[in-house]
């Protein structure tokens, strides 16, 4: 009995130590990332490349997800408000608020954590195991800043545009699905979108997007930067990047919602 308790206690202590060690290493890495860059022109070119790689190439999946997301929200809202006492314009209102407040920021961020996060972790992890990062360090280059800062800037700049695109496409998807299924007219849907609109909801969604973009980029980069071993470990780091980013996004979603909407 006693040896089993001691073993569980030791395991708990080990997990806590690993968590605190990793948490400290994460913040130390951020300190290196945001150090003053040596040559601004090089960082500018890298940022432009990352805008294309992490931003523009994410538009397609964002549009597809948002369209069907808006369609499903509209149809589910319609089927749950079939009672005649509910005016049909509430379908448009529910679609608008659901997309703006939660889906276009949080759900899209979770999808991007899988696409962008795994890409970042595998790219940096491959550079680590092939000793390219060591070569940069030998040349006197701040590898953390050179590799990670352009990615952070690119996602912070472009992800709000992805959120706005998601909002527009999601509402369009809801309108097309609702009118095609005959559950709402265009006039009622447009009226519901305009009814009691609060512009701060857009600001709230964009603020969350900025936090989520930072989390996705830095957590994924951390997993790739400190990977050890070979290609198998790079794959594991990529998986960890997606899981840890997603969990952190969900945690901060609760915190930001309480802070920004209370």
The ranges assigned to domains in the chain are 1-33, 39-261
pLDDT band at 152; cut points 50, 70, 90: very high
Point out the least confidently predicted range of 25-34, 150-159, 220-229.
Answer: 25-34
User: What pLDDT was estimated at residue 232?
Assistant: 84
CA separation for the pair 220, 187 (Å, rounded):
45
Quote the tokens at residue 131: 């000793």
Residue 136: strand, helix, or coil: helix
Helix (H), strand (E) at residue 238: helix 231-261
Average pLDDT of the segment spanning 41-49: 87
- Whether residue 16 has pLDDT greater than 80: no
Contact residues for 248 (Cβ-Cβ < 8 A; gap 6+)? 215, 219
> Whose CA is closest to 62, among 97, 95, 108?
108
CA separation for the pair 104, 95 (Å, rounded):
11
User: What pLDDT was estimated at residue 7?
Assistant: 62
CA separation for the pair 141, 136 (Å, rounded):
5
What is the distance of C-alpha 77 from the center of its chain?
Answer: 26
> Whose CA is closest to 250, among 99, 155, 110?
110
Range with the largest mean pLDDT of 162-166, 182-186, 235-239: 162-166
> Whose CA is closest to 133, among 244, 225, 258?
225
Average pLDDT of the segment spanning 57-66: 93
What is the distance of C-alpha 32 from the center of its chain?
Answer: 23
pLDDT band at 231; cut points 50, 70, 90: confident
What is the distance of C-alpha 51 from the center of its chain?
Answer: 15
Quote the tokens at residue 70: 């808006």
Q: At what angle do helices 89-98 and 143-181 cross, to 10 degrees?
A: 170
CA separation for the pair 238, 225 (Å, rounded):
11
More confident residue, 49 or 139: 49
Q: What is the pTM of this model?
A: 0.90
Contact residues for 14 (Cβ-Cβ < 8 A; gap 6+)? none
Average pLDDT of the segment spanning 98-105: 92
> Does residue 36 come out as left (phi exceeding 0), alpha (psi in the -120 to 50 range) or beta?
beta
* CA 232 vs CA 228, 229, 237: distances in Å: 10, 8, 9
Report the percent of the chain where pLDDT is more than 90: 59
Average pLDDT of the segment spanning 93-102: 92
Q: At what angle do helices 200-225 and 118-129 cross, to 10 degrees?
A: 20
CB 92 within 8 A of CB 176: no
């Amino acid at each position: 009995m006693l040896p089993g308790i001691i073993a569980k206690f030791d395991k708990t202590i080990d997990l806590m130590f690993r968590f605190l060690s990793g948490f400290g290493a994460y913040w130390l890495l951020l300190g290196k990332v945001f150090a003053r860059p040596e040559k601004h022109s090089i960082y500018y070119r890298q940022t432009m490349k990352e805008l294309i790689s992490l931003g523009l190439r994410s538009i397609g999946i964002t549009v597809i997800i948002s369209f069907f997301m808006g369609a499903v929200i509209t149809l589910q809202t319609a089927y749950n408000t079939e009672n005649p006492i509910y005016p049909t314009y509430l379908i448009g209102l529910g679609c608008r608020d659901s997309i703006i407040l939660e889906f276009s920021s949080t759900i899209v961020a979770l999808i991007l954590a899988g696409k962008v996060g795994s890409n970042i972790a595998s790219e940096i992890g491959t550079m680590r195991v092939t000793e390219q990062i060591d070569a940069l360090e030998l040349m006197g280059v701040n590898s953390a800043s050179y590799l990670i800062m352009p990615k952070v800037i690119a996602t912070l700049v472009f992800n709000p545009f992805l959120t706005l695109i998601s909002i527009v496409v999601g509402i369009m998807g809801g309108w097309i699905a609702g009118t095609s299924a005959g559950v709402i007219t265009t006039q009622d849907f447009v009226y519901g979108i305009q009814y009691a609109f609060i512009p701060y909801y857009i600001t709230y969604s964009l603020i969350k997007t900025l936090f989520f973009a930072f989390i996705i980029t830095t957590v994924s980069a951390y997993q790739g930067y400190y990977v050890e071993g070979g290609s198998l470990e790079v794959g594991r780091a990529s998986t960890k990047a997606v899981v840890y980013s997603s969990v952190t996004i969900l945690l901060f979603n609760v915190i930001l919602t309480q802070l920004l909407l209370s």
